[in-house]
């Protein structure tokens, strides 16, 4: 299993909140700065267990329920409005999964769960039944990480070690129902990313353009954002203004704005994305130690729900003792 210890060590972090527009961005003004001071972070949900180390989070677009996964053992939790403590939706080790990294719920009510060691499993959220499983072939190192669902129903999945993006089409999902199939790369970014050593973590979060034209994925090692053209397969580096995406983990894209968590920095940044996806300008940044090594986020009804992984406290990237219980934070005002 490819471990996450290849991340750089955690920097010292202050306890104070820093949320402000980026001064280097032309047009930043006092009104944005005033709004920035209203950011609030609170614990929204409790994930039961003392070794959860959560990684992924997703929202069901039909019901509003949230799902989070445990990197430690593959448990998947479900959170519903009005209930503070999450329920176990899929138990540890279900269907042979060792981890639960990226999660997404598609418009048909299917829950996609990546296992960093193997591939992606697809479940029916009503029956909890396993519908299909797609596996990475070969014995080379891999780290199947995050995923996005495109408007046509296809899924795109990043591999942080192989620096590729796999694709599962709607037709492939239908053909694999009840069985297993291979994960096949659609985009190979190995030749375009910034130079990195063997086994370095590169591609992580990924999001889909609502119009279905392109995907955006972040290279957490090089700090860059890449535009992947769905139709042609072309890859290009997006132009970033006002910062970079170093240590970027989960991404969320809505209405032309991109939210990113930076895990070891305990930070969230917000970007304005060009309509064609060729560039992005950083608008705000929130840095707060109470984010507790955030790894993924999802935005619903104006609130960001952020996974507090605590990976640096006895988890895959550091020694120590985690703060119990593990929680999902609600972040408002950014």
**What are the pLDDT digits (tens) for 190-199?**
999 999 888 8
Rounded to an integer, what is the distance from CA 98 to the centroid of its chain? 18
Mean of all residue pLDDT scores within the chain: 90
Other residues' Cβ atoms within 10 Å of the Cβ of residue 301? 8
Distance from C-alpha of 124 to C-alpha of 202, rounded to nearest angstrom: 31
pTM for the full predicted model:
0.90
Mean pLDDT over residues 166-188, rounded?
A: 96
Task: Look at residue 223 and tell me whether its pLDDT is greater than 50.
Answer: yes
State the CB neighbour count (10 A cutoff) for residue 304: 25
What pLDDT was estimated at residue 178? 86
Residue 15 has pLDDT above 80, yes or no: no
| Higher-pLDDT residue of 86, 13 | 86
Dihedral angle sign, alpha carbons of residues 307, 147, 150, 210: positive
Task: Report d(CA 151, CA 174) in Å as an integer.
Answer: 16
pLDDT digits (tens, 9 = 90+) for 289-306: 999 999 999 999 999 999
Q: What percent of the chain has pLDDT over 70?
A: 89
- Helix/strand/coil for 172: helix
At residue 31, φ and ψ (nearest 5 deg) are -65, -40
Backbone φ/ψ region at 108: left (φ over 0), alpha (ψ -120 to 50), beta? alpha
User: Does residue 209 have a pLDDT over 70?
Assistant: yes
In the numeric block, which tokens belong to residue 232? 């042609």
Section 96-124 average pLDDT: 97
CA distances to 97, 124, 163 from 332, rounded to whole Å, are: 33, 31, 33
Q: 275: burial class by Cβ within 10 Å (0-12, 13-18, 19+)?
A: exposed
Q: How confident is the model at residue 37 (pLDDT cuts 50, 70, 90)?
A: low
Is the Cβ–Cβ distance between 122 and 111 less than 8 Å?
yes
Residue that the structure tokens 């939706």 belong to: 89
What is the DSSP track for 9-69? PPPP--SS-EEEE-TTSTT--HHHHHHHTT-EEEEEEEE-SSS--EEEEEE-TTT--EEEE
Res 198: pLDDT = 83
The residue to which tokens 């930043």 are assigned: 28
Write the pLDDT tens digit of every residue in 263-273: 999 999 999 99
Cα angle 101, 102, 103; round to 5: 120
Question: What gap in Å lies between CA 59 and CA 20, rounded to an integer?
Answer: 28
- Whether 30 has a pLDDT exceeding 80, the answer reads no
- Residue 22 in this model has a pLDDT that exceeds 60: no
Show the tokens assigned to 230.
């769905």
Q: What percent of the chain has pLDDT over 90?
A: 86
């Amino acid at each position: 299993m490819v471990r996450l210890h290849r991340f750089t060590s955690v920097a010292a972090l202050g306890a104070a909140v820093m949320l402000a527009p980026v001064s280097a961005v032309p047009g930043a003004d006092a009104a944005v700065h005033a709004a920035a001071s209203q950011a609030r972070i609170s614990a929204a949900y409790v994930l039961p267990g003392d070794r959860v180390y959560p990684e992924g989070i997703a929202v069901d677009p039909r019901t509003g329920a949230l799902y989070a996964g445990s990197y430690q053992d593959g448990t998947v939790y479900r959170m519903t409005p009005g209930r503070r403590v999450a329920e176990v939706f899929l138990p540890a080790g279900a269907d042979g999964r060792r981890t639960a990294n990226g999660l997404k719920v598609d418009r048909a009510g299917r829950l996609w769960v990546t296992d960093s060691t193997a591939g992606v499993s697809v479940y029916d959220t009503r029956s909890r039944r396993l519908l299909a499983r797609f596996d990475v072939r070969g014995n080379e190192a891999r780290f199947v990480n995050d995923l996005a669902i495109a408007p046509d129903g296809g899924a795109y999945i990043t591999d942080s070690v192989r620096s590729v993006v796999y694709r599962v089409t709607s037709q492939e999902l239908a053909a694999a129902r009840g069985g297993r199939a291979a994960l096949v790369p659609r985009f190979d970014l190995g030749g375009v990313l910034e130079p990195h050593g063997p086994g370095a973590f590169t591609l992580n979060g990924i999001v889909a353009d609502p119009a279905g034209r392109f995907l955006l994925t972040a290279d957490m090692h090089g700090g860059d954002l890449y535009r992947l053209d769905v139709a042609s397969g072309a890859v290009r580096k997006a132009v970033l203004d006002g910062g970079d995406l170093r240590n970027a983990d989960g991404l969320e894209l809505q209405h032309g704005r991109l939210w990113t968590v930076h895990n070891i920095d305990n930070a969230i940044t917000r970007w304005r994305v060009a309509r064609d996806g060729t560039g992005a300008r950083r608008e705000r940044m929130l840095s707060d130690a109470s984010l507790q090594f955030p790894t993924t986020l999802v935005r619903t009804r104006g609130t960001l729900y952020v996974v507090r992984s605590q990976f640096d406290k006895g988890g895959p990237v550091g020694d120590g003792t985690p703060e119990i219980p593990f929680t999902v934070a609600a972040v408002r005002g950014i």
